[in-house]
Amino acid sequence: MCKILHEGQKRDLYLTIPDWYVLNGQTCTGMGYREATDNIDIGLQALIYRQYIFDGTWHKTASMGWVNLNTEMLHGDMEKDLDRYERMFFTMMSSGAQVWVRGHRLYDGPKSKAMLLKWMTWYKKHRDLVQGDIIHLRRPDGRSLDYTLHVDPKHKRGMLLVFNPLQHPVTKTLTVPLYYTGLTGQAHIHEQEGEAKPYPLDEQSQAKLPVTIPADGFSWYVIE
């Protein structure tokens, strides 16, 4: 197997392998999944894949693993199922993992095409942060908010991703540890493209951040 990988590198070919050959040249390995997961409701898939990403990034960076997006589970018209498609797409893109798409199409109308362009543009804008290390804060369990923190001390410092799997809005004050962003004393945080607000940091470089996440929704917070 190693000889195959080495020969592939000589030819500028890189392979994804569901095993651990990273030091011999593989591109990435599975983030963690079961084939059966691809065949369940895409709304539940989004939650389960956040669990896979949370569990699979303790011993590797997100870009070392792949995740699957099965568009075949969007039965019928993507335009009519756009909200669930968008949540799944953002879940995967915002993780920094390599996204594999299984299906016959990425979009089937102007709305689904615009949605993909929107989040691809977002990804390119925030790529340095999204590809940063993940700080594990609350593992998804479907019973409350789940959230993780990307950190990149050399650039914009951090991005907090918050997901609400519940069928009602949730307002909560989160304790966000910012030690690995390199910030001390104070952090400036803005939700999505909003205006940045100052937040004091305690002696452990933690910020108290109030959030309100819509039902079955998500948001992100850039930290500088």
pLDDT (tens digit per residue) in 101-132: 888 888 989 999 999 999 999 999 999 999 98
pLDDT (tens digit per residue) in 51-71: 999 999 998 889 888 888 888
User: How far is Cα 120 from Cα 126, in angstroms, rounded to an integer?
Assistant: 10
Whether the pLDDT of residue 169 is over 90: the answer is yes
Residue 7 has what pLDDT?
Answer: 83
Structural domains of the chain in order of their starting residue, each with its CATH number:
1-30 (no CATH), 35-125 (no CATH), 133-223 (2.60.40.1180)
Distances (CA, A) of 42 to 29, 46, 69, 169, 218: 22, 6, 9, 20, 16
Give the pairing type, strands 65-70 and 98-102.
Answer: parallel
Taking residues 67-85, what's their average pLDDT? 84
Residue 76 has what pLDDT?
Answer: 67
User: How far is Cα 38 from Cα 190, in angstroms, rounded to an integer?
Assistant: 34
Residue 146 pairs in a beta bridge with 163
Share of the chain above pLDDT 70, in %: 99
Phi and psi dihedrals of 17, rounded to 5?
-135, 135
Whether the pLDDT of residue 167 is over 70: the answer is yes
Question: What residue type is 115 in one-letter code?
Answer: M
